[in-house]
């Protein structure tokens, strides 16, 4: 399974970066190949200073070795040998009317001291973080997510949408990071759903990403904006940074397993603002977004 999924994320990285370069029309991805001393490595691709994307990364990694004791405790396991691979992407647009997007699809294996596979699971998802709310964009993104889920189970969209709303939540701010999407983890082999079936599901979601995001980019990338809208985008980016550094499990795993720092922190935007006790103007489009982020919306209905 690990060879199969590694081949998938390598091909998906090529597809996604190629399509993003086309829609940007100016910037190209810079590629870095890196090795992890403890075992494995990855292929990082970063785009910067484009006409559409101010900064973004589409990274794949394949790492293995001994799981640090802190992570053994975190996962609640005593089997210390692991393999992990995945594709992780974050795109921060130039235009405040284009949303930031995040996606990740990953696979994990644990082995005993004899090298025997003792556990395996998939995880991942995709979610949208707008700075200005266009309801038709939110509906489109969620409809694509639901369509991918429904191929495998009519229950998956509602289940993984709720998990996304719960996970991407800045508890210290009492607000969501964005308008959600899908989040799933620990998708394991069961009597009702095999690991092969989970592979089919996760790759279905991965294959849906461009359909979910690119039409929104195309529709919003040329809307004119002023300094005030850019300031708001950078203030909201601060909330994005807070989540990734305080709450995100993927960031924690990368830091605890001696991952490549530049690749782990590529999710952070280049320009961010924090203002003391900032509140948007009453009845403004900015306040409308904040109100939505305080209570999850059923975008399909």
Active site residues: 102
What DSSP string describes 219-273? HHTT----HHHHHHHHHHHHHHHHHHHHT-HHHHHHHHTT--HHHHGGGS-S---
Instruction: Quote the distance between the C-alpha of residue 273 and its chain's center.
Output: 22
What DSSP string describes 156-191? HHHHHHHHHHHHSEETTTTEESSSEEEEEEEE---S
* CA–CA distance, 119 with 121 (Å, rounded to integer): 7
Residue 125 burial (10 A CB sphere; 0-12, 13-18, 19+) = buried
* CA–CA distance, 183 with 103 (Å, rounded to integer): 9
Tokens of 123: 């995880």
């Amino acid at each position: 399974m690990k060879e199969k999924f590694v081949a998938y994320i390598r091909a998906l990285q090529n597809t996604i970066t190629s399509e993003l370069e086309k829609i940007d029309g100016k910037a190209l991805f810079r590629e870095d190949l890196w090795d992890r001393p403890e075992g494995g490595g990855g292929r990082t691709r970063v785009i910067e200073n484009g006409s559409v994307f101010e900064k973004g990364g589409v990274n794949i990694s394949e790492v293995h070795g001994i799981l640090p004791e802190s992570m053994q405790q975190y996962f609640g396991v005593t089997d210390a040998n692991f393999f992990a691979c995945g594709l992780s992407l974050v795109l921060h647009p130039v235009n405040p009317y284009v949303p930031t997007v995040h996606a990740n699809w990953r696979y994990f294996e644990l082995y005993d001291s004899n090298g025997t596979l003792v556990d395996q699971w998939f995880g991942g998802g995709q979610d949208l973080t707008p700075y200005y709310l266009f309801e038709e964009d939110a509906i489109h993104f969620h409809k694509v997510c639901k369509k991918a889920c429904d191929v495998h189970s009519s229950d998956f969209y509602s289940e993984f949408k709720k998990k996304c709303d719960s996970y991407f939540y800045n508890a210290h701010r009492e607000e969501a990071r964005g308008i959600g999407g899908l989040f799933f983890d620990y998708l394991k082999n069961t009597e009702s759903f095999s690991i092969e079936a989970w592979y089919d599901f996760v790759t279905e979601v991965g294959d849906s990403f461009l359909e979910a995001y690119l039409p929104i980019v195309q529709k919003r990338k040329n809307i004119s904006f002023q300094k005030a809208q850019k300031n708001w985008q950078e203030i909201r980016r601060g909330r994005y940074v807070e989540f990734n550094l305080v709450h995100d499990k993927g960031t924690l795993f990368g830091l605890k397993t001696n991952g490549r720092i530049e690749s782990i922190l590529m999710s952070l935007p280049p320009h961010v603002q924090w203002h003391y006790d900032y509140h948007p103007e009453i009845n403004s489009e900015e306040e409308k977004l904040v109100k939505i982020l305080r209570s999850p919306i059923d975008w399909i209905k």
